[in-house]
Amino acid sequence: MSEESTPDPVRQLHEAFAAASAEDLDGVTANLAPNAVWVMDEVGLGPFEGVDAIRGFLLEWWSLWQEHNHHVEEAVILTEGVGYAIIREDGRVKDGGAVVEARVVHVIESIDGLVVRDTTYADIDAGIAVAKRLAASEG
């Protein structure tokens, strides 16, 4: 494969979160494996298993917001199959206008360039530690 056609996983992470801010369902799910799982136990949501379930969750989630943005603070690829992204989210809730901010880390596990598992952690340091353990176990 030529260097130009090799996907850049950091760029893909940035694009996916930009798509989430734009409520672009196809953009968010473009690099998900059909059986991808999004685990958000630590923040009280999910898990969502399969692209259809993830898309359904996103549609429902986006319906709660007047505006909602994702800012990638840091995206790190540890191995071909493991990376993480620290995300700052902010937005204004519909029907009340309360401003909400959160900072989380998404631990991303991939096979052949497709995300098979995205686990969201509210504890940034704990999530990064999990990503590093997963990366170390690949070797």
Query: DSSP string covering 4-57, please?
Result: GGS--HHHHHHHHHHHHHTT-HHHHHTTEEEEEEEEEGGGTEEEEESHHHHHHH
Q: What is the pLDDT of residue 6?
A: 60
Query: Residue 124 in contact with residue 103, Cβ under 8 Å?
Result: yes
Residue 43: the pLDDT is: 83
pLDDT value of position 44: 87
Listed by start position, the domains of the chain span 3-138
Cis preceding-peptide flag for 9 (omega within 30 of 0): no
pTM of the shown model? 0.91
The pLDDT of residue 2 is 42
Which residue in this structure is represented by tokens 């986006």?
62
CB atoms within 10 A of CB 12: 19
pLDDT at 1 over 70: no
Q: How does pLDDT run across 85-123, given as a tens digit for each residue?
A: 999 999 999 988 889 999 999 999 999 999 999 999 999
> For residue 138, what pLDDT is reported?
84
3-138 belongs to CATH 2.70.98.60: no
For residue 115, how many C-alpha atoms fall within 13 Å in the half-sphere facing its CB?
A: 28
* Portion of the chain with pLDDT greater than 70, in percent: 94
